[in-house]
A and B are shown apart, each in its own frame.
Chain A
Amino acid sequence: MKTLLTTLATCVALGLPGVALAQDATPHINARKAMMNLYAYNLGVLGGMAQGQVPYDADLARSAATSLFHLSRSGSARMFPAGSDSVSMPGATRALPAIWENFPDYGARAAALAAATEVMMNAAGTDLASLQGAMAGLGGACGDCHQTYRQAQ
């Protein structure tokens, strides 16, 4: 209690709004971050091959692309409850409030990602050129969402 009072007093003295204090992540937010790491693992397999830094391996590429296909269909929108945004939970998440202000658009972008992972799943095991050809669309689908809905670092 005394710590809280001291913190509040410091906030008042420094003119800081109390809500700016960093918040702990919720289970929803932790799960979302873990999901993003799963994306990054599978993209790392495919992107490493596309960039020539990992030898092309059709089975491994197909496996990674299939994982992405299922990740993008895992219903993760339900892990974004109202109030789990970067303003309500500063320091815990970079998910911008714009997600909840434009939830239909957010869903449309998720659908675009699901379409891009399907293209990749059909391409990745064919040959390296097909994998490389599907990479820009997949990265673009990630980036279109990050541009609008993720806070800068």
Chain B
Amino acid sequence: MSPAFIIIIIAFVTLLAAASAMSLRNLVHSALALTITFAGLAALYLNLDAQFVGFAQILVYVGAVAILIVFAILLTRSGDTPNQAVLAPGWTYGIAIAAVVFTMLGWAVLNSSALPKENSSAPAVTVKNIGDALMSKYVLPLEIIGLLLTAAMIGAVIIALKEPSKTDNAGGKS
């Protein structure tokens, strides 16, 4: 099979999984489809010669974000299939706006003259290059990202902490 054919199959599976993640009624099934979407995107990155990004995608999205979403679904007790409508009242407008956005983007992609000239040769970039760049040119963004992740982690823990109950406020047992 030619590489282009494989990429088309992966893209098709990814888009199908994304569509079902957004349209399935049961949230647990949605989370499963979302995981397939993330894995498909990682496969696309690997096929586009971005190995490091592909494995980072698997590690962060398939490994962490998907688990986090499943935990949130189960902690909010929304694992059952809902009986009432799952779509918001004005959902036709939302779908219409999304269709318009896709039409405009597709038209721009297919007719633009500003796209860069094709460079079909695979870039010779190794993980060593990425590490060197992260430690030299991009060291400040890297530090800021570390700070942001720490702040986000502490913030998430504090936000999700149990609310103090009334007895605590009244000076009762802590």
Chain A partners chain B = no
Interface, chain A (partner B; CB < 8 A): none
Interface, chain B (partner A; CB < 8 A): none
